[in-house]
Amino acid sequence: METNILIVGTGGIGGYFGGRLQEAGATVSTVSNSDFETVKQYGYDIKSIYGDFTFKPVEVVKKANDFSKKADYLIVALKVLPEIDTISLIKDAVSTETTIILIQNGINIEKHIYQQFPNNEIISAIAYIGVRKTDPGKIIHQDNGKLIIGKYPYGKSCIARKFADLFENTHIPCKVVENIQYYRWLKLVWNIPYNSVSVLGNHADTKSIMDNEYSLNLIKKLMQEVANCAEKDGYKLDDNVIQENLDFTSTLSPYKTSMLIDFENNRKMEIDAILGNTIELADKLNVNIPHIKTIYALLKLVNRNKVKLASDFSAK
Amino acid sequence: METNILIVGTGGIGGYFGGRLQEAGATVSTVSNSDFETVKQYGYDIKSIYGDFTFKPVEVVKKANDFSKKADYLIVALKVLPEIDTISLIKDAVSTETTIILIQNGINIEKHIYQQFPNNEIISAIAYIGVRKTDPGKIIHQDNGKLIIGKYPYGKSCIARKFADLFENTHIPCKVVENIQYYRWLKLVWNIPYNSVSVLGNHADTKSIMDNEYSLNLIKKLMQEVANCAEKDGYKLDDNVIQENLDFTSTLSPYKTSMLIDFENNRKMEIDAILGNTIELADKLNVNIPHIKTIYALLKLVNRNKVKLASDFSAK
């Protein structure tokens, strides 16, 4: 039986995972916009560390409503920005049988989708990958490719299991968990400090941040505040989580965060998905996070004159 | 009787105030370094809103030791940076009769001078002025020119009064106060928030900062933390101080702070004089200032690859 997948948001993330799913035998279509003509004719040209390949979607449409099939899985790989109305971009392709999979950054980014489509299974997915679209139809995959997925808000899910099985024999390890929020918090422990400080620290790569005693100390405080939020939200992280993240980062080659790359390309940054939602939760849970609030305010100011969105509003 | 003045640090501030003092009848000499030859030959060419004039110092020397006279007043208009050893730059021109006048930014910037020269009167001075050196020997005075001066650490001072009297009939109102620290705190209420946020907010002028609800809110929190430090330090500021500073800033034409101008010119910023010393005091006084600490850490990171000092290490 055919597995029909529609991808909305075909930047690096959407294009790359779509290509891998097609390789694995699924029938994958895309909503493409800025590079519609190129993709319709040539598909996505993907340069990957595991070998280059072409991903030619079965259908390439300009909007969800033009999709002729019934999506078993609708993968959302859009950026999470106040300017992007995800619901209106996907709703015409969501049927009663459609599972919605969100491969996106941040915390509490599933809620409005969950409320809008109460009868659909929502799978929340976190990608650990270095991939980006460089030109229309051109994607470069540079590093990693792991997925962690789980039913939103939490729990066991046969559908998540079935979706993960599609990745068997691909280059994408896909782990299914019952407490995806825990993993979102875990990722924020790294994402909030490094993304923010790299942008606010005047184009600081990971090494510059780690080498400066003041920013290193700030990173630790930010991590602690994220861990405090997680704990009050019911997800106690391991006591070693801060030290492990610091140690891990020290082993990396000097590296620009994705938010810094957005900043340098004059693109809107995902400040609200990553920091704003954390602050909203912290206020609700009465957690004191002044360091995160300070960098959030500064990033909101920095974001003021970023006008470009990524092509197709896509992640990466 | 001749009043001999030596100015160390002849950027915009030192050059302009030196010129006004000479106009008023004092015998003014300068330690000039980067523009020694130009100044020795032509003096300082000063374009001022009150009319252009030339300030030709009586002596122009390369270092304090070369000064042939006895300084009644030694004016320090150097930037306050860890890299600048003020004491060694002035000590050869300080005699038992010399009054040292510090026209510099920040808080607690007098202490090491006071400890080094315990028998000399130290006058702490705050300048409210828009002036900068644009080229060797060229100074542009754009706005204002008020001085507030007082004996360090506090108290009445005939010498301060006498020095202020030199400015009579010049374009520089000079007010003598007995509690100069109070005025330093008062200036920090504006300086800490706007200088820092303008740099960290991606080249934000005052209007951009005021127009963004997030940065405006951060500005208020930073101001409140400065006011809390001042109060614990024994200087209770007026309850309206925050609202007055906000109202005042709203009336300004969009304006780049001096720290932002240093940043854009790749010059070291006076982060420790303005923020680091505030934090040191806050820690000693047990005042909680997490917002100031966050921006300080970020600015220390931003400052990491600023290598240029102002010419002659001078203020402005």
Domains of chain B: which residue ranges?
A: 4-178, 182-314
- Residue B8: closest CA among B134, B82, B93, B124: B93
Q: How many CB pairs under 8 A join A and B?
A: 82
Catalytic residue among B133, B187, B268, B316: B187
Q: Is A307 on the interface with B (CB under 8 A)?
A: no
* Structural tokens at position B83: 């890299």
Q: Please report residues of B whose CB lies closer than 8 A to that of A209.
A: 301
A138 or A305, greater pLDDT: A138
Q: What is the pLDDT of residue B178?
A: 98
Q: Is the pLDDT of residue A34 over 90?
A: no
B204 and A297 in contact by Cβ < 8 A? no
Q: Is the pLDDT of residue A310 over 60?
A: no
3-class secondary structure for chain B?
CCCEEEEECCCHHHHHHHHHHHHCCCEEEEECCCCHHHHHHHCEEEEECCCCEEECCCCEECCHHHCCCCCCEEEECECCCCCCCHHHHHHHHCCCCCEEEEECCCCCCCHHHHHHCCCCCEEEEEEEEEEEEEECCEEEEEEEEEEEEEECCCCCCHHHHHHHHCCCCCCCCEEECCCHHHHHHHHHHHHHHHHHHHHHCCCCCHHHHHHCHHHHHHHHHHHHHHHHHHHHCCCCCCCCHHHHHHHHHHHCCCCCCHHHHHHHCCECCCHHHHHHHHHHHHHHHCCCCHHHHHHHHHHHHHHHHCCECCHHHECC
Q: Is A256 marked active-site?
A: no
Q: What is the pLDDT of residue A140?
A: 96
A302 and B209 in contact by Cβ < 8 A? no
As assigned by CATH, the class of the B4-178 domain is alpha beta
Q: Look-up: residue for tokens 């105030």?
A: B17
Q: Please report residues of A whose CB lies closer than 8 A to that of B217.
A: 297
**Quick one: A182-314 is in which CATH superfamily?**
N-(1-d-carboxylethyl)-l-norvaline Dehydrogenase; domain 2 (1.10.1040.10)
Cis peptide before A193 (omega within 30 of 0): no
* Structural tokens at position B255: 């304006």
Q: Is A208 on the interface with B (CB under 8 A)?
A: yes
Which residues lie across from A297 on neighbouring strands? none
Q: Is A209 on the interface with B (CB under 8 A)?
A: yes
- Selecting from B215, B297, B301 the residue whose C-beta is nearest the C-beta of A297 gives B215
Q: What is the pLDDT of residue B89?
A: 96
For residue A299, the chain B residue with the least C-alpha distance is B201
- Nearest 5 degrees, angle CA B282-CA A192-CA B290? 10
Region of B252 please: left (phi>0), alpha (psi -120 to 50) or beta: beta
Q: What is the pLDDT of residue B144?
A: 87
B298 and A208 in contact by Cβ < 8 A? no
Q: Which of B304, B305, B306, B307 to mutate to test the interface with A (most CBs of A within 10 A)?
A: B304
ipTM value, please give it.
0.92
A212 and B304 in contact by Cβ < 8 A? yes
Whether B34 contacts B11, CB under 8 Å: no
A298 and B217 in contact by Cβ < 8 A? no
Q: Please report residues of B whose CB lies closer than 8 A to that of A217.
A: 297
For residue B222, the chain A residue with the least C-alpha distance is A294
* Structural tokens at position B184: 């330093």
Whether B292 contacts B278, CB under 8 Å: yes
For residue A304, the chain B residue with the least C-alpha distance is B212
Q: Is A241 on the interface with B (CB under 8 A)?
A: no
Distance from CA of A134 to the nearest CA of B (A): 25
Taken in order A212, A215, A221, A224, the sign of the CA dihedral is: negative
B202 and A295 in contact by Cβ < 8 A? no
Q: Could you tell me the end-to-end alpha-carbon distance of chain A, in angstroms, rounded to an integer?
A: 32
B294 and A291 in contact by Cβ < 8 A? yes
Q: Look-up: residue for tokens 């140690």?
A: A247
Q: Is B294 on the interface with A (CB under 8 A)?
A: yes
- Selecting from A209, A221, A301 the residue whose C-beta is nearest the C-beta of B215 gives A301
Q: Is the pLDDT of residue A51 over 70?
A: yes
Per-residue pLDDT of chain B (316 residues; tens, 9 = 90+): 799 999 999 999 999 999 999 999 999 999 998 899 999 999 999 999 999 999 999 999 999 999 999 999 999 999 999 999 999 999 999 999 999 999 999 999 999 999 999 999 999 999 999 999 999 999 999 988 999 999 999 999 999 999 999 999 899 999 999 999 999 999 999 999 999 999 999 999 999 999 999 999 999 999 999 999 999 999 999 999 999 999 999 998 998 999 999 999 999 999 999 999 999 999 999 999 999 999 999 999 999 877 665 555 666 6
The pLDDT confidence band at residue A315, using thresholds 50, 70 and 90, is low
Q: What is the pLDDT of residue B301?
A: 97
What is the distance between the alpha carbons of residues A256 and A260, in angstroms, rounded to a whole number?
Answer: 6
Q: Please report residues of B whose CB lies closer than 8 A to that of A202.
A: 301-302, 305
A297 and B214 in contact by Cβ < 8 A? yes
Domain B4-178 matches domain B182-314 at the CATH topology level: no
Q: Is A201 on the interface with B (CB under 8 A)?
A: yes
The pLDDT confidence band at residue A256, using thresholds 50, 70 and 90, is very high
Distance from CA of B299 to the nearest CA of A (A): 7
Name, in order, each residue with C-beta under 8 angstroms of B111's C-beta and a sequence gap of 6 or more: none
Chain center to CA of B125: 8
Catalytic residue among A187, A220, A221, A316: A187
* Structural tokens at position A130: 């270095």
Q: Please report residues of A whose CB lies closer than 8 A to that of B295.
A: 294, 298
Q: What is the pLDDT of residue B1?
A: 77
Q: Give the DSSP letter of residue A78.
A: B
Q: Convert the pLDDT of each residue in A223-248 to its tens digit.
A: 999 999 999 999 999 999 999 999 99
Whether A172 contacts A147, CB under 8 Å: yes
Q: What is the pLDDT of residue A286?
A: 98
Secondary structure (3-state) at A136? coil
A218 and B294 in contact by Cβ < 8 A? yes
Q: Is B200 on the interface with A (CB under 8 A)?
A: yes
Q: Is B297 on the interface with A (CB under 8 A)?
A: yes
Read off the pLDDT of each residue in A247-262 and give the average, rounded to a whole number: 93
Chain B contacts in chain A segment 246-265 (CB below 8 A): none
Percent of chain A exceeding pLDDT 90 equals 92
Distance from CA of B209 to the nearest CA of A (A): 7
> Model-level pTM?
0.93
The pLDDT confidence band at residue A305, using thresholds 50, 70 and 90, is confident
Q: Please report residues of B whose CB lies closer than 8 A to that of A218.
A: 293-294, 297-298
Read off the pLDDT of each residue in A91-105 and give the average, rounded to a whole number: 97
Q: Is B171 on the interface with A (CB under 8 A)?
A: no
B301 and A217 in contact by Cβ < 8 A? no
